[in-house]
Amino acid sequence: MKMIIACVGVMAAWPAVAQSVVGTWQQTDRKTCFQNQMKESDTEKELESMMGSHAQSTVAKLIVFKKDGSGQEGIFEAGKKKGNDKNDFQYKVQGQELQLTDKKSGIIIQRFIIDELTENSLKIHDAVKDCETRTFVRAK
């Protein structure tokens, strides 16, 4: 009986391990520690919803994870192939930790904890500051 329960537990955890960060991800939300701690008033919430409905965003922050362990992060405009402020890096996933390293020196430049990884969404937070969060949806 214990063997069956153990096998079911391993099989239930399998999809989470099998997912891969490889692909192109578009950032949909980023919150700093300050933003996470700040409480908005009703007026601020109302104004934000009004401003959001009129805003037409033609730029997207994308992060690309390639199969070879390299990646690129940058801001891309609609209708243009090349992005601005592109940063090249190497990456490594170890358990639930995502490490971004400098391409030339190999020094770890950022560390994130993967909170959620599904076929279409990725949620991470800074390994040092739990309150710094980033949310992505799969673009390709």
- Three-state secondary structure call for residue 3: helix
pLDDT over 70, % of the chain: 71
pTM of the model: 0.71
Task: Give bridge partners of residue 35 from the DSSP assignment.
Answer: none
Helix residue spans in 28-104 (DSSP H): 33-37, 42-54
- The position carrying tokens 């390709």 is 140
Q: pLDDT per residue over 81-123, tens digit each?
A: 777 778 999 999 999 999 999 989 999 999 999 999 999 999 9
Q: How far apart are CA 108 and CA 98, in angstroms?
A: 10
pLDDT of 92 reads 95
- Tokens representing 68 are 């070879």
Q: pLDDT per residue over 11-32, tens digit each?
A: 444 344 457 999 999 999 998 8
Non-local (6+) Cβ contacts of 29 within 8 A are 133, 134, 135
